[in-house]
Amino acid sequence: MDKATLTRVLDDIHRAAMLAEDRGKVADYIPELARIDPGKFAMSICLPDGSQYSVGDAQVEFSIQSVSKLFTLAIALGRYGDRFWDRVGREPSTFVFNSVQELEARQGIPPNPFVNAGAIVTTDSLLVGAQPKETLAEILQFVRLAASDESIFMDPSVAQSEKRTGHRNWSLAYFLRACSNLHHDCELTLGTYFHQCAIAMTCEQLARCGRFLAGFHPTGGLISPAHVRSINALMMTCGHYDGSGEFAYRVGIPSKSGVGGGILAVLPGKASIAVWSPGLDAHGNSLLGTVALEHLSNALGLSVFSLGSDR
Per-residue x/- mask for ligand GLN, residues 94 to 123, rule CB under 6 A?
---xx-----------------x-------
- In the complex with ligand GLN, the residue whose CB is nearer, 56 or 284, is 284
Per-residue x/- mask for ligand GLN, residues 145 to 164, rule CB under 6 A?
-----------------x--
From candidates 117, 147, 253, 259, binder to ligand GLN by CB under 6 A: 259
- In the complex with ligand GLN, the residue whose CB is nearer, 169 or 202, is 169
Chain positions 34 to 93 lying near ligand GLN, rule: CB under 6 A, are 65-66
Chain positions 275 to 294 lying near ligand GLN, rule: CB under 6 A, are 284
Residue 153 CB, nearest distance to ligand GLN (Å)? 16
DSSP string, the chain: --HHHHHHHHHHHHHHHHH-S---EE--SSHHHHTS-TT--EEEEE-TTS-EEEEESTTS-EE-GGGHHHHHHHHHHHHHGGGGGGTS--S--SS-TT-HHHHHHTTT--S-TTSHHHHHHHHHHHTTTS-HHHHHHHHHHHHHHHHT-TT-EE-HHHHHHHHHH-HHHHHHHHHHHHTT---S-HHHHHHHHHHHHTEEE-HHHHHHHTHHHHT--SS--SS-HHHHHHHHHHHHHHTTGGGHHHHHHHT-S-EEE-TTSEEEEEETTTEEEEEE--EE-TTSSBHHHHHHHHHHHHHHT--TT--S---
Active site residue 69: yes
**Contact between 169 and ligand GLN per CB under 6 A:** yes
Active site residue 29: no
Active site residue 53: no
- In the complex with ligand GLN, the residue whose CB is nearer, 54 or 116, is 116
- In the complex with ligand GLN, the residue whose CB is nearer, 74 or 238, is 238
Shortest Cβ contact with ligand GLN: which residue?
66
Residue 114 CB, nearest distance to ligand GLN (Å)? 9
Catalog residues that contact ligand GLN under the rule CB under 6 A: 65-66, 97-98, 116, 162, 166, 169, 197, 258-259, 284
Q: Just list the catalytic residues.
A: 66, 69, 193, 241, 259
